[in-house]
Each structure stands twice: as structure tokens, then as C-alpha cells.
Amino acid sequence: RRVPDAKLDRRLRRRTGEAATIEAHRGGRDFAYHVRCLPLDFPSWTFRRSGAPQARWYLMTPESIVPRPSYVAIFNRNGVPVWWMHSNGSAINATLLPHDRIAWSVRKYEELSSQSRPFEVHALDGSRVGTIVAPDILSDWHELRPLPNGDFFILGSTRRDHVDLTPYGGPSNATVLDGVAEELTPTGRVVWSWNSRDHIPLSASSRWYFYIFKNSIRLPDGRRAYDLVHLNSVEPDGSKVVISSRHTDAVYGVDKATGRVEWKLGGTPTAASLHMADGTSSDRLFGGQHDVRVQPDGTLTVHDNRSLWDQAPRALRIRLELGRRQARVVEHVSAPKLRSAFMGSARLLPGGDWVVSWGSTPRADEIAPSGKRILQFNFGFFYGTYRAVPILPGQLSAAALRAGMDAIARRERRKR
């Protein structure tokens, strides 16, 4: 809060992570300003605000295109980081868990590595309190979705050999990666699993094969593997599970009990496809979309990168009309001057604003339904954040964040 005409000139010596509080009194009211020293290697950023935000905090992982040690950070609605933690790897996909826990994974240069990428779980004081990893697949960092029953959805892949990809310009005896979605208990036991091999044909990835072949993944034995579907988000929806696949440009509604695809949005037309009420063809609805989420009213929100279409990314809200086997876009916001090849998130707030990471761009915004930018983070060239996770008022207290940072600073001081 700004105090008009207040002046203060003090010199304080503080180490990285250490804080100072400036207290002021004016007009019968007390004010406190909290200052904390950032690390020298914390990513630079700019911030603009032009309205009243609806989110209280913004959880992000500002990261470079080339993986290197980075930070997980929580920013306030004035664009100031109030909590952060250094990662020895390239931290990605930070997720707020119950009981004020934060989980994230570490990215390697290849998006899907030949080894599992676990999520490490930390308390706000920086202590590592757990690990989440699928025991039976190559789990990756694309999704960690906490569920109301305490379980988690997670994504990964399995290898399949001797696959003929010659119809799509590839080798006749290929090793491929099939996408897998799983539900894990807090102890790591698998209680549900779905494999794209059984439900998505090779032809569904036709538009992406040139990219898939160019960006093959090196296995430990030197062979190359091809990422067929590239699952990137999974979401509960009553008796169904909603799954997003970048390399098929499609979102699937899966019956959880049988694994059957009940409906499909986007991608190559199939018997399960829903047609769009406005006449948009199925295969042009999405372009490498991310972060599908089910809203309380049953609509879906999606970050549509528009990958390979040379169009601006957008955040969509879509209503399904399953009785008529159709869907319609009922709301969208976009970033007309940007292009987003990968990553990204779109979260709709209860008050109607959107919080969007525009993927492989430096930008993350809060946007009003009218399209007005309420606030904007810009992390500069070569930086971006996989997701921008809004944290609502009442979810996480400023006192808890400051106490956590104080503990992290004390631990770092003891290391020196």
C-alpha cells in the first residue's frame, strides 16, 4: 500500500534471502513493507499492472529454453517474488498441493527422457518431504494433478518396438513411445492406468510426424524412439477422465472404467469426434494444445498453442453438447502478437479472469473476460514458464510464505 509523501533512507546489510520489514504510521493507520534480497542469478523480469487482479499469488518456474539450474517462485499481485527456492536442475511444472506443499519436476533437454522424471515435494521451509513417481512407466513432468481423494494423476510413457512408420515417412522397424496416464495413491501404488496404444491409431499423429521424426529421443542403448502422442494434461470429470495429446491435436474424454474414448475434440475425425457448432473442422480446432481443465459448470478450458498453424495462441472455454455430439467455443482470449510452439496453461478464475502462461514465450498474464490485460509478467528472451498457476485469496497466507523463506535463508546461511 502506498503511503503518500512518506520518505525513508536507511542502509541495511542483508544476505541473499534475508528480509527486512519497514513499518510506517500515518493517519491513524499502520503500514508494513516487507523487503527481501533476491539471489544474483534469479531470472530478470518486468511487470505491468492495469487493474485489480483476482488471484492472490502466481506460482511459476521461470526457465530458460536450454535447461540449467533455475528457481521455483511465488509472485504477488504486484509482481514481486515473495517465496522462491533454487533447483539444481531446470525446475518445471510447479504445483501447489494440500497442506502448503509445493511439488515440481526437473526438465532435461529432451522433453521425454529415457529415465523417469519424478516430482519432488517440498514444504514451504524448503525441506524435501516426499517424491511422486510412477513405478511402472517412464513418468515425466507434464502433469501432476492432485485429486480430491488424496491420489494423483500423472503422465508418462512406455516403449514399443517393431512399429512400421513407413506410411508416414519413418522407419519400418521403429521404437515408439506410447502415452500413459495413471492414478497413484499417496504411497505410489497404481490404481488406474490408460495407454494410448490401445485407443489412438498411428494415423492420428499425421500432422506432427515431420516434427516427431526430427525430434526423436535417444535411448540408453543408442537407439532412437519416437514420441507418438505426447500426452500433456489429464483431468478428472466424474466417471470420465479428460486427456490432452499434443501430437494428435486432440482432447479425449475417456470412460474411466473401460478406457474407451467416449468423445474426441480436435484432431483427425473419428467415430468419437464431436463436431463444432460453428462449423470449424475437427482437424483445425487445436494446434498442439495444453492444460485441459474441467470447470464447475462442466465446460472445458484449454490452452491452444496454435502450433504449426502460424497463428496466435489462445485460451478457450468449450461447452460439450454430448446429446447432439457437438461442442461450441463459448469464450476465448488471445495474445495476437505472440507465437507459442509448446508449453502453456490457461486457468479460469471464479471471478471470470484468466491466468495464462503463453507457453514458449516470455509472457504470463491475468486477463479479464473482455480481453483487457490486468497484469503481465515478461521474463525476457529465452525464458518462459511451463505453467502459471493462480493461487486464490485464502489458499496460502503471506505469513506462511515469509516464514518459509526465513527458514530457507537460515539453511542457506549455515551452508556458507
SS in 3 state form for 162-201? EECCHHHCCCCCEEEEEEEEEEECCCCCEEEEEEHHHCCC
Q: Give the pLDDT confidence score for residue 110 in this predicted structure.
A: 60
**In the prediction, which pLDDT does 220 show?**
78
> How do beta strands 240-245 and 250-255 pair?
antiparallel
How many angstroms separate the Cα of 125 from the Cα of each of 95, 128, 254, 350? 16, 9, 39, 29
DSSP 35: E
Q: Which residues pair with 132 in a beta bridge?
A: 119
Cα distances (Å, whole numbers) of residue 316 to 293, 298, 321, 346: 10, 14, 16, 8
Q: Which domains does the chain have, with CATH numbers?
A: 1-37 (no CATH), 38-415 (2.120.10.30)
pLDDT score, position 65: 75
For residue 1, what pLDDT is reported?
45
pLDDT of residue 8: 66
Q: Residue 109: what pLDDT?
A: 60
pLDDT, averaged per 10 consecutive residues of the chain (416 residues), comes to: 60 87 86 91 96 99 85 98 95 97 87 78 98 95 98 97 98 98 98 99 98 92 93 98 99 99 98 96 97 99 98 98 98 96 98 98 97 97 92 97 96 83
Burial of 21 (0-12, 13-18, 19+ CB in 10 A): exposed
Half-sphere exposure of 197 (CA within 13 A, CB side): 14
CA dist 340 and 345 (Å) reads 11
How many Cα atoms within 13 Å fall on the side-chain side of residue 285?
31
Amino acid, single-letter form, for residue 219: L
Q: What is the pLDDT of residue 253?
A: 99
